[in-house]
Amino acid sequence: MNKVILVTGANSGIGLALCERLLSQDTEGLQLCLACRNMRRAQAARSALLASHPAAQVALLQLDTSSISSVMAAAQEVKLRYNRLDYLYLNAGIMPNPQFDVKAFFKGLFSSRVVSMFATGEGILTQKDGITPDGLQEVFATNLFGHFLLIRELEPVLCHASQTSQLIWTSSSNAHRSAFNLEDIQHQRGTQPYSSSKYASDLLSLALNTHYNKQGLFSSVICPGFVMTNLTYGILPSFPAFLWTVVMPIFWLIRMFTNTFTLTPYNGAEALFWLFKQKPESLDPQAKYHSLTSGLGNNYTQPRKMDIDLETSEALHEKLLQMESEVRKTLKEKQKKSRHALASS
């Protein structure tokens, strides 16, 4: 029986590299669904995958995780297409309007924390968040809440007593407890919404295991390492071109001394691909699975304990459930008004 895999944010970067690696291992035994916001780019990604793997089954799904109506519509479409989902890769993510602190960068460049600075972005990156049409913080909605809502909507195809399914989150080494506040889960009052959202996904994964393992659904978290993707290059507008020329050779040099500089999407997808081949029951729900690349270019995966606790994860889960309830109520009211408007026209 074919395995059904849905990947959000699959049209570029780590998401696309994962799809390529999955099809390289098993072209005909998979049903792959690329869930993307931009359908033109999604079509280009599908064409590229089919050019390499003509026999592959690659479907497209329009999904914008920042939009509640888009998540609901996409989930409905998935349930119409498939009676089960074996893997759900929660990979879509944004880091909008990054602000690069050049002074802090140069200070860190010649200090003992240079590797940590590059690997995590801590101390050199802040972001200016936006608001979605639904009234949510954009980073929170895209990186976390949209995915949470998608999982909730897809329970009928994810939860089966007779088989296991896996949720696999793309987190980050930039996921810091210090950026997250349980009283401000949308990070409305801070300047590190990306870090907050990624730490929240680490917490949520733990809570999802508590609530879903008995129903055959397991959740894991990965860190792709430091990868050059569109998200990374999005920092470029605030990063002078001459600095980039200086920094790139340093990145390759640093990789001789640290394994977290995966650099390419293919390498960054290592842990995502590794988890595909594991029995979910054997995985540690409190570990983050890191994609690592040795100085000689060999890829491997290593689990590292996350800085999370069950109490905070449960509290976050409860807050997300409350938010979901409010969102559904608002959605029903909008649909009701819409029907009345149609009836009176």
Q: What are the residue numbers of the active site? A: 194
Q: List Cα–Cα distances, 289 to 166, 222, 301, in angstroms.
A: 14, 4, 6
Q: Are 234 and 95 in contact (CB under 8 A)?
A: yes
Q: Which of 37, 95, 53 is nearest to 227 (CA)?
A: 95
Q: What b-and-e string marks burial along 13-35, b requiring 16 or more CB atoms within 10 Å of the CB? A: bbbbbbbbbbbeeebeebbbbbb
Q: What is the amino acid identity at position 315? A: A
DSSP state of 28: S
Phi, psi angle pair for 296, to nearest 5°: -90, 0
Give rounded-to-5 percent helix, strand, coil for the chain: 50, 15, 35
Which residue is associated with the tokens 């890829």? 299
Rounded-to-integer distance, Cα 35 and Cα 77, Å = 11
Rounded-to-integer distance, Cα 274 and Cα 255, Å = 21
Q: Are 75 and 147 in contact (CB under 8 A)?
A: no
Q: Which of 71, 222, 213 is nearest to 151 (CA)?
A: 71
DSSP state of 254: H
Report the residue count for the chain. Answer: 345
Tokens of 183: 């009283």
Q: Give the helix/strand (H/E) hosting 326.
A: helix 310-344
